Amino acid sequence: MRSTSARVRPGLAAAVVAAALLTGCSSASPGDDFRPGASELGDPYVPGAGNGGYDVEHYRLAVDYDPASDRLRGQAAVTAVATQPLSRFNLDLQGLEVTAVGVDGDRARHHRDGDELVVTPARGLAQGNRFTVTVEYAGRPGTRPNGPLGGGGFLHTEDGAIVLGQPYSAAAWFPVNDHPSDKATYDIEVAVPDGLAALSNGVPGEQSSADGRTTWRWAQRAPMASYLTTLVIGAYRVETGTHAGKPIVTAVPESLAETGPEAVSLARTGEIADFLADRFGPYPFDSYGGVVVADPRVGYALETQSRPVYGPAFFLGGRPNFDVVVHELAHQWFGNSVAVTRWRDIWLNEGFATYAEWLWAEHEEGRSLQRAFEELYAVTDWSLPALDPGPEQMFGTAVYQRGALTVHALRRTVGDDAFFAILRAWTAERRDGYGTTGDFIELAERVSGAQLDDFFDAWLSGTTRPALPEPG
């Protein structure tokens, strides 16, 4: 991420219900010690977010949105594996009214506890068993605060909606285990009035129209953290094609010029992704793209998986902005394919994405990366940590800039060959998974053969300016 300072048609319902029946029954065994799953995951950066007792494998979402009334109706089938014997479990869901819940085809009891949907299945779920919970829900979805970022969640617009946000946004429009430590695959179907686009993550599927409404289909087959889901609905000029044998979908509002800076910037998405792949390893997803939105409430860009969303502030100067495209595409490796398990390690996302901007500037404009490093090093406030900066500073300068300084200092310390080998090993070994700062340090030491604990302590967490490293 980069900051600038209704109805459901019967066909959609049938697909969601069928998903529940395919999993079969999760039966209990004698001696199972059934107990409730945790109502949150205990991440201090996002109190109340996420839930325990299960691991989600797949979300199948079928939603219908009417911009005129700002009403959303949805059905979700959430397929998960119990990680403990479960007597009940929670899903995160903000505001929307739930009308029915089932588990493996049997009706389940449910109630709301704030932004938690508490589900009690007809019988306990044994540890290790796969189950599917289906939820029917409706209402006017709401916004969700994103701390210093401002607006997030489900933003109603004149002609549709924009759904995104970090560190969470998904619970504003579907029931979810809303924490990056529980990634899953997705099938998303969105019905909107004819003439409007409904853009989301992953590979586009076949569109269909009936009764004045068009259903757009998307499939994300690589595991995705919930905050990386997006839904952009409205009058958009959608460009589709292929790049490197994969679909590429970009979109800008119809109100913007076809040759404006927004479209020009998105047009280089494939080229920039290739540039990053040469340094980070193969592009990790099955599709490319990007969406520009015009709503000024979106004052940031977000690395929504395979299809980043860019707020209007990045193009106010009337010139293309390739730096922000580089930043959000770099996140496809650092933050998306390899996610953080806890938000304290967010520098692993933002430090590398910022460093990617420096790599691009040197490549594209001839700007000296080393000089940029030295200039920023001289003016950095070293009292602010990049690692575990605290909830109020998780999008602060230290995370981005001190994080990037750490990345280049590592390069200087271990040398180019070992440095790029570290990056490629990280993105390959942990593809579709997770990583912590400790994991990264361990890998960097293994690949480089150097002892790096003291180095990372000084550059990420120390309160005084570290010594400039000698070239490795």
Residue type, 218: W
Structure confidence at residue 387 (pLDDT): 98
Distance CA 350, CA 334 (A): 8
Task: Supply the pLDDT for residue 202.
Answer: 98
3-state secondary structure 250-288: EEEECCCCCCCHHHHHHCCHHHHHHHHHHHHCCCCCCCE
Q: Judge: domain 235-331, CATH 3.30.2010.30.
A: yes
Q: Which two tokens stand for residue 176?
A: 């979810």
For CATH 1.10.390.10, list the domain ranges present in the chain. 338-461
List every span in the chain annotated with CATH 2.60.40.1730. Answer: 2-229
Residue 451: CB atoms within 10 Å:
9
Alpha-carbon distance 62 to 219, whole Å?
12
Of 232, 146, 145, 154, whose CA–CA distance to 196 is shortest? 232
- Amino acid 391: pLDDT: 94
Number of residues written out for the chain: 472
SS3 314: helix
Question: CATH 3.30.2010.30 in the chain, residues?
Answer: 235-331
Three-class SS state of 386:
coil
User: b/e string for 318-337 if b means 16 or more Cβ within 10 A?
Assistant: eebbbbbbbbbbbbbbbbbb
Domain 2-229 CATH (choose: 2.60.40.1730, 3.40.50.360, 3.30.70.1380, 3.40.190.10):
2.60.40.1730
41 neighbors 50 (Cβ within 8 angstroms): yes
* One-letter amino acid of 5: S
Identify the H or E element spanning 98. strand 97-103
For the chain (length 472 residues), average pLDDT per consecutive 10? 49 45 44 89 95 98 98 98 98 97 98 97 97 98 77 92 95 97 98 98 98 98 98 98 98 96 98 98 98 95 98 94 98 98 98 98 95 96 97 95 98 98 98 98 98 98 94 68
Rg of the chain's alpha carbons, rounded to an integer? 22
Just give the CATH number of 338-461: 1.10.390.10
Measured between alpha carbons, how far is 108 from 134 in angstroms, rounded to an integer? 9
Determine what percent of the chain falls in helix, strand and coil, rounding each to the nearest 5. 30, 30, 40
Q: Is the peptide bond before 247 cis (omega within 30 degrees of 0)?
A: no
Token pair recorded at residue 12: 């959609």
User: E strand or H helix at 187, and its extent?
Assistant: strand 184-193
